[in-house]
Structure 1
Amino acid sequence: MTSTSANLATTTVASANPWALVPPLGNLDAYITAVNRLPMLTVEEEQDYARRLKNDSDLDAAGRLVMSHLRLVVAISRQYLGYGLPHGDLIQEGNVGLMKAVKRFDPDQGVRLVSYAMHWIKAEIHEYILKNWRMVKLATTKAQRKLFFNLRSMKQGLKADAAALDEGTHRDTLSPNEIDTVAQKLNVKREEVIEMETRMSGGDVLLDPSPSDDGENAFGPIAYLADGSHEPTAMIESRQRDALATDGISLALGGLDERSRRIVEERWLKVNDDGSGGMTLHELAAVYGVSAERIRQIEAAAMKKMKKTLAEYA
């Protein structure tokens, strides 16, 4: 088959069913090759399909409008390969924007679909990049988005100009004059330029890194950002300890006889003026006229009874 015959056959197949030229499965290169073979629409064909879609909701017409502009998505997506995201994902998001453009396209506006669709394709790709370039979204406001997609290229241009004038310039950050230049060109505040440059120069850091191969836990921000004093479990335990130390102890002491309560209080709950502990077993033995061993037995029985009361209280 000659080259002319092959091209004619391809055009005939595309006219009958343009989807047949795009393989359902395969690698990215095969997809790009296939969409670049799809025929472009003339102005009259584009207007006809657009009106059929608008007036009759003709899905076949919508499909032909989409298929004829898939190469545009591939071309636009190449401009964003520098962000480190998969080319296939960029194309996929761009195709979503193309379909939105086709759905909203008005043939009576006096513009070609290619001009109208570029905005929607870029908008979807921009949104995808902002959501996936970093774990934490870097740009939310209009000014931040403008800086995100222009700062890096402008920064490289400014550095190239500075290097041409001064070969010893090797700064990674923008100078005050360069910051003012960027802010003026993009019509944003210089503080916003500084903030975005700082955000883009940093990287993602795991709050709680995974253990290393040797089993040791890696040090991460969680180690110094965590506030143990306000951790729910710690707060509950603290309140329980406070309750046991006040109301619980009072209740447990109230269940003892007078001698046992005084022995416990003198031994454990009183502090002398010099900071030393309470009375010793021998000192209490002298007060009650019994042996130190008997005081120890009374104390042990009182402690056992208090533990039971505190356990029930808790």
Structure 2
Amino acid sequence: MAIQENNYNSISHYMGKIKHCQPLSFEKEQELAKEYVVSKSKRAERGLTQAHLKLVVKIAHSYSGYGLPLAELIQEGNIGLLNAIKKFDPETGYRLSTYASWWIRASIQEYVLQSFSMVKLGTTAAQKKLFFNLKKMKSRMHEMEESISPEAVTNIAQTLGVKESEVMEMNMRLSKGIQSLNVTMGEDSDTEMQDFIVDDTANQEEIYSNKQQYTEKHKMLSNALETLKPREQDIIKARHLSETTETLESLGIRYDVSKERIRQIEEAAMAKIKVNVAKQASTRLI
């Protein structure tokens, strides 16, 4: 569902359209996701997309303070959502919203960074961290959105490892983009923009996103282990995947070889695992 023009009326029209899009039950989401995996069904893709359009709006609005049109942020977020649907694996048991949140944020952040590069946004890791964390840190310090106290400037600069002048300059840029949530979405509507924004659960989403990534890495490691010979598997598990690491000497006794031979087998097996995992990861990115 695209926004044709980047203006207030188009946003109002878009919000009116997605107002009736409801989230799916876990069972229905699984059904559509599995259908899409098997057949790339447009019907399934459309159903999954429409159920998460409000999530995109919620996440896009959290970036509205950067002075960019909300319509553009939503468009970029929708691109991230579509990418998430294409790569989502329903067999993990996680909700699509958990997985999609990362893709939506990544797509919007990339767009915001590209847009701000035109005004010489810093490219260091610390400056990018300042860019995306200034508003959050000010909120924790109970600072006004439009202004910032000298104490807060010093605190933020020290925490993020940037100059105080950079904090003040970034605050001035971002304060220009603050938008009100208390505007109605059309002459005939009492609905306000904030009605579409639920309580921020970013931390919870990050937790589940980390779990999703852990599950995927664990799955790739398991697949890689299965390609090894039984002795190689046993040595890797004993040396790297057990609560108590077994020594080279004890493994040498078990297999009646020198501990140097066990070390060689271990190194060769680890090299095979790295190659296999890298291959799996590259395949998932296609």
TM-score (norm 2): 0.50
Q: Corresponding residue for 1:250?
A: none
Paired position in structure 1 for 2:167: 197
Q: Which residue of 1 aligns with 2:17?
A: 34
Aligned: 1:47 with 2:27: no
Quick one: distance in 1 between partners of 2:68 and 2:153?
29
Structure 1 residues 139 and 113, CA gap change in structure 2 (3 angstroms) = farther
**By how many angstroms is 1:108 displaced?**
0.9
The aligned counterpart of 2:71 is 88
Q: Distance in 2 between matches of 1:155 and 1:28?
A: 28
Cα deviation, residue 179, structure 1: 3.2
- Tell me, which stretches of 5 or more residues in structure 1 are unaligned? 1-18, 162-168, 204-314
Query: Residues 266-277 of structure 1 correspond to what in structure 2 (within 5 A)?
Result: none
Instruction: Output one character per residue of 1:206-262: Cα deviation in whole Å (capped at 9) or x when no partner.
Output: xxxxxxxxxxxxxxxxxxxxxxxxxxxxxxxxxxxxxxxxxxxxxxxxxxxxxxxxx
Supply the distance in 1 between the matched residues of 2:153 and 2:65 (Cα, whole angstroms): 24
Which residue is 1:179 aligned to?
A: 157
Q: Is this contact kept in 2: 1:85–1:133, CA < 8 A?
A: no
2:106 is paired with a residue of what secondary structure?
helix
Percent of aligned pairs sharing the same letter: 38
1:113: which partner in 2?
Answer: 96
Distance apart, 1:23 and its partner CA: 9.1
Residue of structure 1 equivalent to 2:264: none
Amino acid at match of 1:73: V
- What residue in structure 1 maps to residue 234 of structure 2? none
Greater shift, 49-58 or 25-34, is seen at 25-34
- Report the number of matched residues: 168
Q: Mark the CA change 1:55 to 1:175 in structure 2 (over 3 Å): closer, same or farther.
A: closer
- Match among 130, 133, 136 for residue 113 of structure 2: 130
1:146 pairs with 114, 129, 133, which one?
129
TM-score when scaled to structure 1? 0.46
Separation of aligned partners in 1, 2:116 and 2:30: 38
Deviation at 1:39, TM superposition (A): 2.9
Q: CA deviation at 1:131?
A: 1.6
Q: 1:197 to 1:24 in 2, by over 3 A?
A: closer
**Could you say which residue in structure 2 is the equivalent of 1:270?**
none
Q: Is the 8 A contact 1:94 1:121 kept in 2?
A: yes
Q: Please say if residues 47 and 107 of structure 1, whose CA atoms lie closer than 8 Å, have aligned partners that are also in contact.
A: yes
Contact map agreement 1:69 1:114 (CA 8 A) in 2: yes
Q: Which has the higher contact order (CA 8 A, sep 6+)?
A: 2
Matches of 1:79 and 1:87, distance apart in 2: 10
- Conserved 8 A contact 1:131-1:137: no
Work out whether residues 130 and 137 of structure 1, in 8 Å CA contact, stay in contact via their aligned partners in 2.
Answer: no
Residue 81 to residue 88, structure 1, CA distance change in 2 (3 Å): same
Over residues 58-112 of structure 1, what are the superposed CA-to-partner deviations in whole Å (9 max), with x where a residue is unaligned? 2221121111111111111121221111111111011001001111100011110
Change (3 A) 1:109 1:140: farther
Q: 1:74 aligns with which of 31, 54, 57?
A: 57
